[in-house]
Amino acid sequence: MALQAILLAGLTAVLSGGYPAFAAAPDAAARAPVSYDDDIKPVLELHCLKCHGPEKQKGGLRLDHKAGAFKGGDSGERGIVPGHSSQSRLFQMVSSKKDDERMPPKGEPFNEKQLDLLRRWIDTGAEWSESGTNAAKLGRSEMKVSETDRQHWSFLSLRQVVPPSVKDKAWVRTPVDQFIRHAQEAKAILPSAPADARTRVRRIYFDLIGLPPTPEEMARWGARVGKSSDAVRELVDELLASPHYGERWARHWLDVARYADSNGMESDNDRPNAYRYRDFVIRALNEDLPYHTFIRWQLAGDEIEPDKPEAIAATGFLAAGVNAGLPDKLMEEEKLRNRANELDDMVSTTGQAMLGLTLACARCHDHKYDPLPTRDYYRMMRVFNSGDRAEVPLASLSEVKARATAMAAWKKESDAAVKERDEWLKEARKPVADTLRAERIAKLQITDNEKRLLLEKRDDSAAKKLADRFKKELKIEDSEYVAALADGEQARWKELDGRVKELARRKPGELPTAFAFADFAPEPRESWLFERGNFMARKEKMDLGFLTVLTTGKTADDYWKAARDTKLRDDSTQQRRALADWMTDTDHGAGALLARVMVNRVWQHHFGEGLVRTASDFGTRGEPPTHPELLEWLTGELIRSGWSVKRLHRLIVNSAAYQQASAFDEKKSARDPENRLLWRRRPLRLESETLRDSMLAVADTLNSAVFGPGFKPPIPAEALQARNVKDPYPGDAKDTLETRRRTIYMFHKRVVQYPLMQAFDAPDAQQSCGRRMNTTVAPQALSLLNDPFVRLRAEELAGRLQAGAGPGADAQIQLAFQLCLGRAPAPDELTDARVFISAQIAARAQPAANQPTAAAQRLALIDFCQSLFGLNEFIYID
Amino acid sequence: MNPAHQHCGRYESFTSRRDFLKKAGAGFGMLALADLMGKNNQLAAAATEASNPMAPRAAHFSPKAKSVIWLFMEGAPSAVDMFDPKPELTKRDGQRIDIDVFNGNPGPLMKSPFSFAQYGESGAWVCEHYPNVAQHVDDFAFVKSFYSESNDHVPALYQINTGIPRPGFPSAGSWVTYGLGSGNNNLPGYVVLGNNQGVKGGNLNWSSGFLPTTHQGTLFRAGATPVINLTRPRDVSRANQRAQLDLMARLNQRHLDARPGEAELLGRIQSFELAYRMQAEATDLVDFSKESAATREMYGIDKDETRSYGSKCLMARRLVERGVRFVQVYSDGEWDAHSDLNGNHKGHCRATDKPIHALLTDLKRAGLINETLVIWGGEFGRMPVSQGNGGRDHNPNGFGMFMTGAGIKPGTSYGELDEIGYRAAVDRVSVHDLHATMLHLLGIDHKQLTYFHNGRRYRLTDVAGEVLQKILV
């Protein structure tokens, strides 16, 4: 393969757009001798070294040292032939007139002046002095974010977009459809017909609240939805207003927030107050908290709204990652390593969850593909380095202060009372102390001489040693002294001791806390750039900073100063508030990208695929959006609506695109196999949580209690495999009312994953997860066949059928289909089910099985119910 | 471009099925799908391919090993007390040196409490408590100069298993089945025979990380029900369950008929059949009754002190014999001798010596040793200085392992620790090197086995790793 082909294939475009060429005016200065260091090296660095330098040697070519540059790349042609620019492959490539050959392949070409310098330098002997070039100097020069870097589509500021006009106006239900249909019309592909009413109702229920519609709900909505689009709008509004909406959609955000209820790593300590963050997310969604506020609170709620408990709990986002929780006594190196990893978790999760950027890549070196210098990474790390996870009081500043004051006052009073009592006793007991001691000594099993020693020479070292030996026996409690006192003195004791006890009862109560984040102090901690990510190699102190490529017209210091000037609390650095302001700033900061990433996440959960299919990578290596204009328009709508996520749902779910049938079409599929034009809606599989919740719901045993500490469901011993866990998972947990709550309230212990969830691709909460796997594996089938949870729900469903439909098999089957699938069984299905049930009854009633008829009937019905849970139609929603 | 070099990219090369494959991505079992479907062979093929990620796949180049058995000595055995005696350490016993240790408060240099002898033609040193393993040293390649990063067990365990000292990355076994599939469709491709007291850091040690979950290690427990959810509910007989599967298949088939083109649905139908077969296969697997009394005696299953590890070693043989690709055999408890190294290591030697000897002998007898790579080692090593009462603290700076079996140059030793056994000094070997070598023996170029995730292509060996050519034939 030719060199240029290799290069072209491998190169990543970082530069784009044409630049005007410098006027090539051959004046006297231009005839001056050309210097490698001054003239050539900077040009090579600018154009070539990204791909042909120390980090990468595309096509085997390396241009940052003499031997490599002269030798050339894999083609074997010499890169530089001193005296002959026309024979030098390097010059041929950069000066080529052919667009498909010229280097660099996509970026800014060499301008005339640069070409002239290079030509003259080679023609005059290509003097390349390596004096002063050492290994360190050979190292790649630090990445500079250029104007061209800022031109990547996702980094641009928000564009105004008008929905395009379409020929097929009748199809359009919301402006979303104009974009979708416009793209389809351009490719002459037709959308699918609307799905039938039952399918749409079911789809919208699962999508918005994560629960199946009851037969009554299905009857109510099914009758109307097919007839008017108003009915769909009403349904969507009703479900968005349901408290179950937040429970469903919070899960999506908790995935990206890598939320769990324990530390992870070896000890995996529980975090009993982590749930406050989970509850914050549910509430925020249910109340349609503006998305930018949702984000701001998660970064700096304690600084932005110090009097709002929910804003304080929101910083649980930063705290939610893995933390080894090492004891203080351990070696410094290990603690530093752990801290560096924790800070990395905070920086990279923030970048990934909020901005769809793979910031973690910049921990050891400048990002290889995106304009994210290591410097940006460490400047951002500084924000979090000034604080840590903590149990933070959930109360207003004044309450916290009031409690601190009350506590201090109480302590003063209490300490004084204790002191008064103890000092009084110290005096009062003197007359009885010797007597009591003598009685004790008398009882000791020692010689008389030793006893005398203890009694008469108690300051003697031998006596002290002896007394120490019998410390326990010689110890006299306060109560014993008191008992020996005179009556009047006893009364005084009662009075003094009573006051102490009374004060203990008046101790100010503890404030509730959240597992969240707090700064250490008002002054920021020193923070460093670690050479190649090595936390032992502190290279340079870092100032506060954010991502250069997303900052225009303002500096991090501007944000920080503004935050400090209007600060609402004195005990923190306001750096996180500055970060939050930058993050949500659509004019000078990251706001536009923040909104795009969220719009895409919402879209992804509605359709199974995002408009940008790499939901957590909006960088140059991510996929570009399938509908860039639509993404831009929705982003604008999100911001213009005051960052209302519910409004975004309405625009999407009410669209014709969303409500299409899911039918497969071979011809369309041949033309658009990945359904990028959205010519149909793809069936989506329920996630593990929705699957579990649905079984509980149809079994009618779902406990819909909301909020509060997580529940611990039974986990079989086979899955409790981690050793040395500090708060071990209970081995005897039972299936109870509490464990039949929605799965979002389940306690997520990091090293002990709940098997049903693990089998069905729930994320392991070690890192941010923007998109779940969707695997089809035998352990999933094994859990549906054999997991006690599934069997129990089948039993309950069977009971519900017997109670609700009476003893007749047909009526039971009818009801079961309505509950589980939202429809009546087809005649064939009814027959199959009937045959199955009677065969199971017969098998179970056989003499060998020795079951009475009623039991056999019940077991057969349970077998049937369990089979329904295994149906594709139960788990795949059209 | 050679498709075998594009493991991740193999999805990309099936353009027409790409969408489906990306979604389905995983599953067990090769089923006679064309029969089941009868009408849409391409769909069937797509479903089979996606639902059968354990189907054996061609390696990058001709492999030396088909399977790996990793004898995992959890808790970290001490190099200088097992295979790498240091006369200088003995000489300087009691001397204090400037050293930083995990738990602080380091003691003076401590000589090994064990005596050593040389074995075989290779003259390898082995401590007095491993006399049976010692008989095999002429088949071993000792690698004596390992180092890793963390001083703490769990990050070290994660590193030796996944290459990265943090949780959440795919383990070596997962990468291997992802790259090669497995030789048995009815069993998981990667099996973990766990520590009977649990493993520190739990199942993240055999996690598939960002790879499809099919590739995660499956933990087998001792006893009749090694795998979770393998036992039917109390009230359900095998025939009852078969009937359930038949009902599901009928209803699912009708559902599928109305949705032609949805290979994912078909893949899921197969996954139930596979689950059903797995139950039978696993039952057969754990049934040791067909093993001869002599075999059981050789593995030490008849003795309390060797029963647990012996059973796991025998199970390991039965697994590779059935084509399972990657087996880890964790020792029980921990070699974590913070005090009384003498007692601790003696006990662990006793528990593992005979079983490992039996496994190696048995693999040889069955001809399996020529296609199985066996690895012995822990997550790091131990300090040359004492801790507390005759113990040694953690040491990631230098430790040893041995490898034997397919592709390994017999009777070799590679690398050296310094003279007191503290740091890898000569030919230092990283965990990435171990992984690169393991993949190489399996016919995989570690630089080519990649998975695209969060904006970059990941490898088991990150951006490093050198194959240890000098220990290979």
Give A691: exposed, middle or buried? Use CB within 10 Å, 0-12, 13-18, 19+.
buried
Instruction: Kindly state the tokens that stand for A254.
Output: 């908790």
- The predicted structure's pLDDT at residue A591: 98
Question: CA nearest A357: which of A607, A529, A610, A596?
Answer: A596
Average pLDDT over residues B194-213: 87
Which of B207, B229, B248 lies nearest to residue A755, judging by beta carbons?
A: B229
pLDDT of residue A140: 53
* Same-domain status, B25 and B164: no
| CB of B171 closer than 8 Å to CB of B162 | yes
Q: What is the CA radius of gyration of chain B?
A: 24
Give the tokens for residue B138. Answer: 């002429």
Residues B15 and B131 in one domain: no
Question: Cα(A838)–Cα(B224) distance, rounded to whole angstroms?
Answer: 33
Check pLDDT > 60 for residue B12.
Answer: no
Mean pLDDT taken over chain A: 90
What integer is the mean pLDDT of A716-741?
Answer: 88
Residue B11 has pLDDT above 60, yes or no: no
Amino acid letter at A693? D
Classified as helix, coil or strand, B199 is strand
- Residue B371 contacts residue B323 (beta carbons within 8 Å): no
Tokens 């990652």 -> residue: A321
**Which chain A residues touch B19 with a CB distance below 8 Å?**
673-675
Query: What is the distance between the alpha carbons of residues B116 and B79, in angstroms, rounded to a whole number?
Result: 12
Q: Which residues of A touch B264 (CB under 8 A)?
A: 683, 685, 776, 876
CA angle at residue A615 from B51 to A551, to 5 degrees? 160
Better pLDDT: B446 or B105: B446
Question: Are B139 and B204 in a shared domain?
Answer: yes
Token pair listed for A727: 């708060």
* pLDDT for the residue A480: 86
Q: What is the pLDDT of residues A607-619, one digit of tens each?
A: 999 999 988 889 9
- Rounded CA gap, A540 and A530, in Å? 8
pLDDT score of B154: 92
**Are residue B27 and residue B72 in the same domain, yes or no?**
no
Burial category of A150 from C-beta neighbours within 10 Å (exposed 0-12, middle 13-18, buried 19 and up):
middle
**How far apart, in Å, are the Cα atoms of A698 and each of A217, A362, A580, A632?**
13, 48, 43, 40
Distance from CA of A239 to the nearest CA of B (A): 28
Give the gap in angstroms from C-alpha A638 to the nearest C-alpha of chain B.
25
* Cβ proximity of B116 and B345 under 8 Å: no
Question: Do the interacting molecules here have an ipTM over 0.90?
Answer: no
Three-state secondary-structure class, residue B461: coil
Q: Which residue of A has its CA nearest to B269?
A: A872
Task: Decide if B181 contacts B56 (C-beta within 8 A).
Answer: yes
Helix (H) or strand (E) holding B239: helix B238-257
Contact list in A for residue B274 (CB cut-off 8 A) is 778, 781
pLDDT of residue B430: 97
Distances (CA, A) of A477 to A441, A691, B352: 15, 62, 55
Residue A794 three-state SS:
helix
User: Averaged over A647-656, what is the pLDDT?
Assistant: 98
CB contact under 8 A, A863 and B29: no
Looking at the predicted structure, is the pLDDT value of residue A352 above 60? yes
Closest by CA to A494, choosing from A479, A477, A505, A475, is A479
- Nearest chain B Cα distance for residue A334, angstroms: 7
- Provide mean pLDDT across the span B347-364: 98
Query: Which of A279, A342, A343 lies closest to A311, judged by CA?
Result: A279
Residues paired with B146 in a beta bridge? B399, B429
User: Residue B50: its pLDDT value, please?
Assistant: 53
Report the residue of chain B nearest A753, measured CA to CA. Answer: B203
- Whether the per-residue pLDDT at A20 is higher than 60: the answer is no
Q: For residue B381, list its beta bridge partners.
A: B395
Q: Which residue among B240, B255, B267 places its CB closest to the CB of A873?
A: B255
Of A723, A828, A839, which is closest to B200 when you measure between CB atoms? A723
Question: Which regions of A618-698 does DSSP assign to beta strands (E)?
Answer: 684-685
Return d(Cα B348, Cα B331) in angstroms, integer.
8
Are A764 and B204 inside 8 Å of each other by CB?
Answer: yes
Picking from B431, B436, B320, B390, the residue whose alpha carbon sits closest to that of residue B112 is B390
Q: Taking residues B443-470, what's their average pLDDT?
A: 90
Q: Which of A664, A773, A867 sits opposite B25 (nearest CB)?
A: A773
Task: Count how many pairs of residues, chain A against chain B, have C-beta atoms within 8 Å.
Answer: 259
Residue with structure tokens 């690895």? B375
Instruction: Pick the residue from chain B with its C-alpha nearest to A661.
Output: B259
Residues of A in contact with B24 (CB under 8 A): 774-776
In this complex, which of B15, B214, B233 lies closest to A791 when CB atoms are compared? B233
Of B262, B280, B298, the residue at which a domain comes to its end is B280
B158-182 average pLDDT score:
94
Tell me which range, A106-120, A811-825, B20-34, is most confidently predicted by mean pLDDT.
A811-825
CB contact under 8 A, B24 and A775: yes
Tokens matching residue A456? 């008469």
Which of B381, B434, B376, B443 has its CA nearest to residue B405?
B376
Nearest CA in chain A to B225: A718
SS3 content of chain B, % helix, strand, coil (to 5): 40, 15, 45
Best mutation target, A337, A772, A775, to test chain B (most B CBs within 10 A): A775
- Predicted local confidence at residue A7, as pLDDT: 33
| Residue that has been written with the tokens 């009815």 in this structure | B186
Distances (CA, A) of B302 to A198, A217, B73, B261, B460: 63, 64, 22, 55, 39
Number of domains in chain B: 2
Who has greater pLDDT, A759 or A740? Answer: A740
- Of all residues in chain B, the percent with pLDDT exceeding 70 is 88
The predicted structure's pLDDT at residue B283: 84
Which residue type does A825 have?
P
- Whole-number Å distance between alpha carbons of B164 and B166: 5
pLDDT higher for B404 or A81? B404
In this structure, are B142 and B72 located in the same domain? yes
pLDDT of res. B2: 33
How far is residue A20 CA from its own chain's centroid? 44
pLDDT > 50? residue A738:
yes
Answer yes or no: are the C-beta atoms of A315 and A300 closer than 8 Å.
Answer: yes
CB-CB neighbors (< 8 A) of A877 in chain B: none
Nearest 5°: phi and psi at B237? -85, 170
Q: Confidence class of residue A64 from pLDDT cuts 50, 70 and 90? A: confident
pLDDT value of residue A139: 42
- CA pair distance A148, A592, nearest whole angstrom: 18
pLDDT for B53? 65
Say whether both B275 and B161 belong to one domain: no
Q: Which residue has the higher pLDDT, A3 or B227?
A: B227
pLDDT, mean of residues B198-222? 86
Q: What is the pLDDT of residues A42-58, one digit of tens each?
A: 788 778 887 887 777 78
DSSP letters spanning A628-644: HHHHHHHHHHHHHTTS-
CA pair distance A370, A549, nearest whole angstrom: 9
Burial of residue A41 (number of CB atoms within 10 Å: 0-12, 13-18, 19+): middle
Sequential DSSP letters for B382-422: E-SB-BTTTB--EESS-EEEEEEETTBPTTEEE-EE-TTSS
- What is the identity of the amino acid at B280? A
Per-residue confidence (pLDDT) for residue A137, from 0 to 100: 35
Q: Are residues B346 and B370 in the same domain?
A: yes
* Integer Cα distance of A790 and A869 in angstroms: 8
Residue A710, pLDDT > 60, answer yes
Tally Cβ neighbours within 10 Å of residue A413.
Answer: 13
Residue A121 has pLDDT above 90, yes or no: no
Question: Which of A23-37, A321-335, B218-232, B332-346 has the lowest average pLDDT?
Answer: A23-37
Q: How many CA atoms lie within 13 A of B355 on its CB side?
A: 29
Chain B residues with CB under 8 Å of A268 CB are 202
Following DSSP, what letter does each residue of A801-847 receive, concatenated?
A: HHHHH-S-HHHHHHHHHHHHHSSPPPHHHHHHHHHHHHHHHHHHHST
Testing the interface with A: which of B105, B157, B174, B251 to mutate, by most A Cβ within 10 A? B251
Neighbouring CB atoms inside 10 A of A471's CB total 8
Dihedral sign for Cα A862, A867, A870, A874, please.
negative
Q: How far apart are CA B180 and CA B323, in angstroms?
A: 12
Q: Is the peptide bond between B85 and the residue preceding it cis, with omega within 30 degrees of 0?
A: no
CB contact under 8 A, B100 and A331: yes
Q: Nearest CA to CA, how far is B24 from chain A (Å)?
A: 5
Judging contacts by C-beta atoms under 8 Å, the chain B residues touching residue A674 are 18-19
Do B203 and B250 have their domain in common? Answer: no
Q: How far is A589 from chain B (nearest CA, A)?
A: 23
Question: Is B111 found in the same domain as B47?
Answer: no
Q: Which of A406-420, A429-443, B299-313, B384-398 has the lowest mean pLDDT?
A: A429-443
Interface with chain B: mutation pick from A192, A721, A834, highest number of B CBs within 10 Å: A721
Q: What's the CA dihedral at A25, A29, A32, A34 to 10 degrees?
A: -70
Residue in chain A closest to B52 (alpha carbons) equals A777
Nearest to B243 among A663, A781, A836 (CB): A836
Residue corresponding to tokens 């590739």: B215
Mark whether B392 and B249 lie in a shared domain: no
Contact B167 A766 (CB under 8 A): yes
User: Which residue of B lies nearest to A787 if distances are taken between CA atoms?
Assistant: B229
Q: Average pLDDT of A231-250?
A: 98
Cβ–Cβ gap A870/B233 under 8 Å:
no
Find the CATH number of the domain harbouring B128: 3.40.720.10
Which of A293-307, A362-376, B262-276 shows the lowest mean pLDDT across its residues? B262-276
Tell me the nearest-neighbour CA distance from A722 into chain B, angstroms. 4
Mean local confidence (pLDDT), B236-251: 95
Verify whether the Cβ–Cβ distance B233 to A616 is below 8 Å.
no
Bridge partners for A518 per DSSP = A388
* Same domain, residue pair B77 and B184: yes
- Give the minimum alpha-carbon distance from A721 to chain B in angstroms, rounded to a whole number: 4
Within 8 A by CB and 6+ apart from B226, the residues are B220, B282, B285, B286
Segments forming the whole domain that contains residue B17: 3-59+229-280
Of A341, A780, A836, the CB nearest to B247: A836
Q: CA-CA distances (angstroms) from residue A531 to A156, A407, A524, A537, B292? A: 31, 46, 21, 5, 60
Length of chain B: 473
Among A242-256, A321-335, B143-157, the range scoring the smallest mean pLDDT is A321-335
Of the candidates A820, A826, A835, A830, which has an alpha carbon nearest to the alpha carbon of residue A873? Answer: A820
Task: Report pLDDT digits (tens) over B379-425.
Answer: 999 999 999 999 999 999 999 999 999 999 999 999 999 999 999 99
Q: How high is the pLDDT of residue A31? A: 53
Distance from CA of A695 to the nearest CA of B (A): 17
- Sign of torsion over alpha carbons B399, B405, B406, B412: positive
> Residues B191, B77: one domain?
yes
pLDDT of residue A132: 39
CB pair distance less than 8 Å for A786 and B231: yes
Write down the pLDDT at residue A483: 86
pLDDT of residue A28: 40
Query: Of B213, B216, B278, B393, which to mutate for an interface test with A (greatest number of A Cβ within 10 Å)?
Result: B213
Asked whether the predicted pLDDT for residue A381 surpasses 50, the reply is yes
A524-553 pLDDT, tens digit per residue, is 999 999 998 899 899 999 999 999 999 999
Quick check: B154 and A324 CB within 8 A? yes
pLDDT beyond 50 at A22:
no
The pLDDT score that the predictor gives to residue A32 is 64
pLDDT at A96 over 90: no
Of the candidate ranges A325-329, A406-410, B381-385, the one whose mean pLDDT is the lowest = A325-329
Nearest to B142 by CA among B393, B335, B399: B399
